[in-house]
Protein backbone atom coordinates (compact mmCIF):
# COMPACT_ATOMS: atom_id res chain seq x y z
CA UNK A 1 0.00 0.00 0.00
CA UNK A 2 1.23 3.46 -0.84
CA UNK A 3 1.32 5.41 2.42
CA UNK A 4 3.49 7.60 4.61
CA UNK A 5 4.69 6.54 8.08
CA UNK A 6 2.14 7.38 10.74
CA UNK A 7 -0.83 7.61 8.37
CA UNK A 8 -3.77 5.61 9.64
CA UNK A 9 -6.32 3.58 7.70
CA UNK A 10 -9.65 3.16 9.49
CA UNK A 11 -11.52 -0.03 8.61
CA UNK A 12 -15.22 -0.11 9.37
CA UNK A 13 -16.27 -3.74 9.78
CA UNK A 14 -12.69 -4.77 10.43
CA UNK A 15 -13.68 -7.84 12.44
CA UNK A 16 -15.79 -9.34 9.65
CA UNK A 17 -14.92 -11.95 7.03
CA UNK A 18 -13.49 -9.47 4.54
CA UNK A 19 -12.57 -6.74 7.03
CA UNK A 20 -10.28 -8.96 9.08
CA UNK A 21 -8.25 -9.69 5.95
CA UNK A 22 -8.14 -5.98 5.11
CA UNK A 23 -6.81 -5.15 8.57
CA UNK A 24 -4.21 -7.91 8.33
CA UNK A 25 -3.09 -6.58 4.95
CA UNK A 26 -2.71 -3.02 6.26
CA UNK A 27 -0.70 -4.06 9.31
CA UNK A 28 0.19 -1.73 12.20
CA UNK A 29 -1.26 1.38 10.56
CA UNK A 30 -4.75 -0.09 10.52
CA UNK A 31 -7.47 0.76 13.03
CA UNK A 32 -10.63 -1.31 13.43
CA UNK A 33 -13.92 0.54 13.87
CA UNK A 34 -16.93 -1.50 14.87
CA UNK A 35 -18.69 -3.30 17.68
CA UNK A 36 -16.00 -5.98 17.98
CA UNK A 37 -12.25 -5.52 18.19
CA UNK A 38 -11.22 -8.43 16.01
CA UNK A 39 -10.62 -12.13 15.87
CA UNK A 40 -6.99 -13.01 15.29
CA UNK A 41 -3.57 -11.80 16.35
CA UNK A 42 -2.21 -11.93 12.81
CA UNK A 43 -4.00 -8.68 11.96
CA UNK A 44 -1.37 -6.71 13.95
CA UNK A 45 -3.93 -3.97 14.62
CA UNK A 46 -2.66 -0.63 15.84
CA UNK A 47 -5.93 0.31 17.48
CA UNK A 48 -9.65 -0.11 17.93
CA UNK A 49 -12.53 2.36 18.08
CA UNK A 50 -15.89 1.06 19.23
CA UNK A 51 -18.54 2.36 16.83
CA UNK A 52 -22.22 1.47 16.68
CA UNK A 53 -23.23 1.83 13.03
CA UNK A 54 -26.77 2.69 14.13
CA UNK A 55 -25.59 5.75 16.09
CA UNK A 56 -24.58 8.40 13.52
CA UNK A 57 -22.77 10.64 16.04
CA UNK A 58 -20.25 7.88 16.74
CA UNK A 59 -19.05 7.90 13.13
CA UNK A 60 -17.82 11.47 13.19
CA UNK A 61 -16.28 10.99 16.63
CA UNK A 62 -14.30 7.97 15.39
CA UNK A 63 -12.92 9.85 12.39
CA UNK A 64 -12.10 12.92 14.46
CA UNK A 65 -10.30 10.73 16.99
CA UNK A 66 -8.27 8.66 14.52
CA UNK A 67 -7.81 11.32 11.81
CA UNK A 68 -7.27 8.63 9.18
CA UNK A 69 -5.78 9.33 5.78
CA UNK A 70 -7.91 6.49 4.38
CA UNK A 71 -11.14 4.73 5.26
CA UNK A 72 -12.18 1.31 3.96
CA UNK A 73 -15.85 0.57 4.59
CA UNK A 74 -16.67 -3.15 4.84
CA UNK A 75 -19.62 -2.95 7.25
CA UNK A 76 -22.85 -4.45 5.90
CA UNK A 77 -25.84 -6.59 6.70
CA UNK A 78 -24.68 -9.13 4.14
CA UNK A 79 -27.05 -12.05 4.71
CA UNK A 80 -29.74 -12.14 2.03
CA UNK A 81 -32.13 -13.87 4.42
CA UNK A 82 -31.54 -11.30 7.17
CA UNK A 83 -32.01 -8.43 4.74
CA UNK A 84 -35.33 -9.90 3.58
CA UNK A 85 -36.44 -10.38 7.20
CA UNK A 86 -35.25 -6.96 8.41
CA UNK A 87 -35.38 -4.52 5.49
CA UNK A 88 -35.19 -1.49 7.77
CA UNK A 89 -31.95 -2.74 9.31
CA UNK A 90 -30.58 -3.55 5.85
CA UNK A 91 -31.25 0.00 4.73
CA UNK A 92 -29.74 1.43 7.91
CA UNK A 93 -26.49 -0.56 7.63
CA UNK A 94 -26.14 -0.78 3.84
CA UNK A 95 -27.32 2.69 2.78
CA UNK A 96 -27.71 5.18 5.64
CA UNK A 97 -24.50 4.22 7.47
CA UNK A 98 -22.29 4.42 4.33
CA UNK A 99 -23.83 7.82 3.57
CA UNK A 100 -22.88 9.10 7.02
CA UNK A 101 -19.34 7.71 6.66
CA UNK A 102 -18.99 9.37 3.26
CA UNK A 103 -20.08 12.74 4.67
CA UNK A 104 -17.59 12.42 7.54
CA UNK A 105 -14.77 11.45 5.16
CA UNK A 106 -15.55 14.38 2.88
CA UNK A 107 -15.43 16.73 5.86
CA UNK A 108 -11.89 15.71 6.86
CA UNK A 109 -10.74 14.91 3.29
CA UNK A 110 -10.04 11.24 4.04
CA UNK A 111 -9.79 8.81 1.14
CA UNK A 112 -12.86 6.50 1.11
CA UNK A 113 -13.18 3.04 -0.45
CA UNK A 114 -16.68 1.61 0.03
CA UNK A 115 -17.40 -2.08 -0.57
CA UNK A 116 -20.53 -2.93 -2.53
CA UNK A 117 -21.79 -6.11 -4.17
CA UNK A 118 -22.47 -7.84 -7.48
CA UNK A 119 -26.00 -8.39 -6.15
CA UNK A 120 -26.95 -4.86 -7.18
CA UNK A 121 -27.58 -6.74 -10.45
CA UNK A 122 -29.90 -9.64 -11.19
CA UNK A 123 -33.02 -8.18 -12.76
CA UNK A 124 -31.58 -8.63 -16.25
CA UNK A 125 -28.95 -10.84 -17.86
CA UNK A 126 -25.37 -9.62 -18.15
CA UNK A 127 -23.51 -9.22 -21.43
CA UNK A 128 -21.30 -12.26 -22.24
CA UNK A 129 -18.24 -10.77 -20.51
CA UNK A 130 -20.27 -9.79 -17.42
CA UNK A 131 -21.74 -6.57 -16.09
CA UNK A 132 -19.73 -3.41 -16.58
CA UNK A 133 -19.56 -0.45 -14.24
CA UNK A 134 -21.89 1.62 -16.42
CA UNK A 135 -24.62 -1.03 -16.57
CA UNK A 136 -27.65 0.15 -14.57
CA UNK A 137 -28.25 -1.75 -11.32
CA UNK A 138 -31.33 -3.97 -11.24
CA UNK A 139 -31.42 -5.74 -7.86
CA UNK A 140 -34.08 -8.30 -7.03
CA UNK A 141 -33.43 -8.71 -3.29
CA UNK A 142 -33.69 -6.39 -0.30
CA UNK A 143 -29.95 -6.80 0.17
CA UNK A 144 -29.23 -5.78 -3.42
CA UNK A 145 -31.62 -2.83 -3.23
CA UNK A 146 -30.05 -1.54 -0.02
CA UNK A 147 -26.52 -1.89 -1.44
CA UNK A 148 -27.51 -0.08 -4.64
CA UNK A 149 -29.02 2.71 -2.55
CA UNK A 150 -25.81 2.88 -0.54
CA UNK A 151 -23.70 3.30 -3.67
CA UNK A 152 -25.72 6.31 -4.78
CA UNK A 153 -25.69 7.82 -1.30
CA UNK A 154 -21.91 7.49 -0.95
CA UNK A 155 -21.10 9.03 -4.32
CA UNK A 156 -23.65 11.82 -3.86
CA UNK A 157 -22.12 12.70 -0.48
CA UNK A 158 -18.50 12.31 -1.60
CA UNK A 159 -17.89 12.19 -5.38
CA UNK A 160 -14.18 11.48 -4.84
CA UNK A 161 -15.00 8.19 -3.08
CA UNK A 162 -14.50 4.80 -4.76
CA UNK A 163 -17.25 2.18 -4.68
CA UNK A 164 -15.86 -1.32 -5.27
CA UNK A 165 -18.37 -3.98 -6.26
CA UNK A 166 -17.16 -7.40 -5.13
CA UNK A 167 -18.53 -10.84 -6.02
CA UNK A 168 -19.10 -13.79 -3.73
CA UNK A 169 -15.93 -14.34 -1.66
CA UNK A 170 -14.31 -17.58 -0.55
CA UNK A 171 -11.21 -18.39 1.50
CA UNK A 172 -9.97 -18.48 5.07
CA UNK A 173 -12.45 -17.18 7.65
CA UNK A 174 -10.14 -17.96 10.59
CA UNK A 175 -12.25 -20.84 11.82
CA UNK A 176 -15.60 -19.03 11.77
CA UNK A 177 -17.28 -20.91 8.92
CA UNK A 178 -17.90 -17.80 6.84
CA UNK A 179 -17.66 -17.23 3.10
CA UNK A 180 -18.46 -19.57 0.25
CA UNK A 181 -15.78 -22.15 1.06
CA UNK A 182 -15.53 -22.25 4.86
CA UNK A 183 -19.32 -22.27 5.30
CA UNK A 184 -19.48 -25.27 2.95
CA UNK A 185 -16.72 -27.12 4.78
CA UNK A 186 -18.34 -26.40 8.14
CA UNK A 187 -21.70 -27.76 6.93
CA UNK A 188 -20.09 -30.97 5.68
CA UNK A 189 -18.21 -31.34 8.97
CA UNK A 190 -21.57 -31.12 10.77
CA UNK A 191 -22.74 -34.12 8.74
CA UNK A 192 -24.87 -32.15 6.29
CA UNK A 193 -25.02 -32.56 2.52
CA UNK A 194 -25.59 -28.98 1.35
CA UNK A 195 -27.46 -28.10 -1.83
CA UNK A 196 -25.48 -25.83 -4.16
CA UNK A 197 -27.13 -24.16 -7.11
CA UNK A 198 -26.42 -25.14 -10.68
CA UNK A 199 -28.32 -22.10 -11.96
CA UNK A 200 -26.63 -19.29 -10.01
CA UNK A 201 -23.59 -17.91 -11.83
CA UNK A 202 -20.97 -15.70 -10.20
CA UNK A 203 -17.34 -14.58 -10.66
CA UNK A 204 -15.90 -15.54 -7.24
CA UNK A 205 -12.79 -14.01 -5.67
CA UNK A 206 -10.54 -15.17 -2.86
CA UNK A 207 -11.10 -12.99 0.22
CA UNK A 208 -7.39 -12.36 0.84
CA UNK A 209 -6.98 -11.34 -2.81
CA UNK A 210 -9.94 -8.96 -2.46
CA UNK A 211 -8.40 -7.44 0.67
CA UNK A 212 -5.07 -6.81 -1.08
CA UNK A 213 -6.90 -5.09 -3.92
CA UNK A 214 -8.92 -2.86 -1.56
CA UNK A 215 -5.78 -1.77 0.27
CA UNK A 216 -4.03 -1.04 -3.03
CA UNK A 217 -7.01 0.98 -4.26
CA UNK A 218 -7.07 2.96 -1.01
CA UNK A 219 -3.66 4.27 -2.03
CA UNK A 220 -4.90 5.55 -5.39
CA UNK A 221 -7.16 8.39 -6.44
CA UNK A 222 -9.57 6.22 -8.46
CA UNK A 223 -13.17 7.29 -7.93
CA UNK A 224 -16.67 6.28 -9.01
CA UNK A 225 -17.53 2.59 -9.36
CA UNK A 226 -15.11 -0.28 -9.99
CA UNK A 227 -15.80 -3.99 -10.50
CA UNK A 228 -13.30 -6.32 -8.82
CA UNK A 229 -13.98 -10.01 -9.37
CA UNK A 230 -12.25 -13.22 -10.33
CA UNK A 231 -11.69 -14.28 -13.94
CA UNK A 232 -13.80 -17.47 -13.64
CA UNK A 233 -17.54 -17.54 -14.26
CA UNK A 234 -18.85 -20.58 -12.38
CA UNK A 235 -22.08 -21.78 -10.81
CA UNK A 236 -22.22 -22.29 -7.06
CA UNK A 237 -22.13 -26.08 -7.47
CA UNK A 238 -18.98 -25.95 -9.57
CA UNK A 239 -17.35 -23.64 -7.03
CA UNK A 240 -18.18 -26.13 -4.30
CA UNK A 241 -16.57 -28.98 -6.23
CA UNK A 242 -13.42 -26.92 -6.77
CA UNK A 243 -13.21 -26.14 -3.05
CA UNK A 244 -13.60 -29.79 -2.06
CA UNK A 245 -11.07 -31.00 -4.63
CA UNK A 246 -8.58 -28.47 -3.29
CA UNK A 247 -8.97 -30.14 0.12
CA UNK A 248 -7.91 -33.48 -1.32
CA UNK A 249 -11.30 -35.00 -2.05
CA UNK A 250 -11.58 -37.20 -5.10
CA UNK A 251 -14.21 -36.46 -7.73
CA UNK A 252 -16.67 -39.09 -6.52
CA UNK A 253 -16.30 -38.09 -2.87
CA UNK A 254 -16.77 -34.40 -3.70
CA UNK A 255 -19.94 -35.10 -5.68
CA UNK A 256 -21.25 -37.26 -2.85
CA UNK A 257 -20.64 -34.51 -0.29
CA UNK A 258 -22.85 -31.87 -1.96
CA UNK A 259 -26.16 -31.89 -3.81
CA UNK A 260 -26.75 -30.06 -7.09
CA UNK A 261 -30.00 -28.13 -7.14
CA UNK A 262 -31.80 -25.11 -8.49
CA UNK A 263 -32.96 -21.87 -6.91
CA UNK A 264 -36.56 -22.88 -7.62
CA UNK A 265 -36.08 -26.17 -5.75
CA UNK A 266 -34.84 -24.20 -2.74
CA UNK A 267 -37.68 -21.67 -3.00
CA UNK A 268 -35.35 -18.69 -3.45
CA UNK A 269 -35.72 -18.00 -7.17
CA UNK A 270 -37.29 -14.60 -6.48
CA UNK A 271 -34.46 -13.41 -4.20
CA UNK A 272 -31.35 -14.95 -5.74
CA UNK A 273 -30.42 -13.85 -9.28
CA UNK A 274 -29.32 -16.34 -11.90
CA UNK A 275 -26.23 -14.43 -13.08
CA UNK A 276 -24.37 -11.48 -11.55
CA UNK A 277 -21.02 -12.04 -13.26
CA UNK A 278 -18.82 -8.95 -13.27
CA UNK A 279 -16.51 -7.65 -15.97
CA UNK A 280 -13.30 -6.58 -14.19
CA UNK A 281 -11.46 -5.31 -17.26
CA UNK A 282 -11.14 -1.79 -15.92
CA UNK A 283 -9.78 -3.02 -12.58
CA UNK A 284 -7.17 -5.21 -14.26
CA UNK A 285 -5.94 -2.18 -16.20
CA UNK A 286 -5.52 -0.19 -12.95
CA UNK A 287 -4.19 -2.75 -10.49
CA UNK A 288 -0.77 -4.13 -9.72
CA UNK A 289 -2.40 -6.91 -7.68
CA UNK A 290 -3.52 -9.77 -9.97
CA UNK A 291 -7.10 -11.04 -9.72
CA UNK A 292 -6.59 -14.75 -9.08
CA UNK A 293 -8.49 -17.59 -10.68
CA UNK A 294 -10.15 -20.09 -8.35
CA UNK A 295 -7.50 -22.73 -9.04
CA UNK A 296 -4.68 -20.23 -8.42
CA UNK A 297 -6.17 -19.15 -5.10
CA UNK A 298 -7.01 -22.64 -3.84
CA UNK A 299 -3.77 -24.41 -4.72
Q: Where are the extended beta strands (E) located within 147-292?
A: 162-166, 169-170, 195-197, 201-202, 205-206, 224-227, 234-235, 259-261
Phi, psi (5° rounding) for residue 27? 85, -150
User: How many angstroms separate the CA atoms of 250 and 246, rounded?
Assistant: 9
The residues, any chain, with a CB within 8 Å of residue 233's CB and separated by 6 or more, are 130, 201, 202, 203, 277
The catalytic residue among 86, 143, 170, 237 is 143
| DSSP secondary structure letter of residue 199 | S
3-state secondary structure (DSSP) of residue 140: coil
143 annotated active-site: yes
Q: For residues 134 and 127, is the Cβ–Cβ distance under 8 A?
A: no
User: How many angstroms separate the CA atoms of 157 and 155, rounded?
Assistant: 5
Provide the annotated active-site residues: 143
Amino acid sequence: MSSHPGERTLVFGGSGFLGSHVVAEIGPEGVVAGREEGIHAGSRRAGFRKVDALVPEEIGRALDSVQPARVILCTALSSLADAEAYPGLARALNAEFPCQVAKACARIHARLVHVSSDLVFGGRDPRPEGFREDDPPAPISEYGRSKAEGEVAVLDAYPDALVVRLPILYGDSFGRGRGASDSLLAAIERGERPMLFTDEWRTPLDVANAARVLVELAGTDASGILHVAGPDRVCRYELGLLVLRSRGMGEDAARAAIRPGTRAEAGVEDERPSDTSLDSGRARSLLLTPLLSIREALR
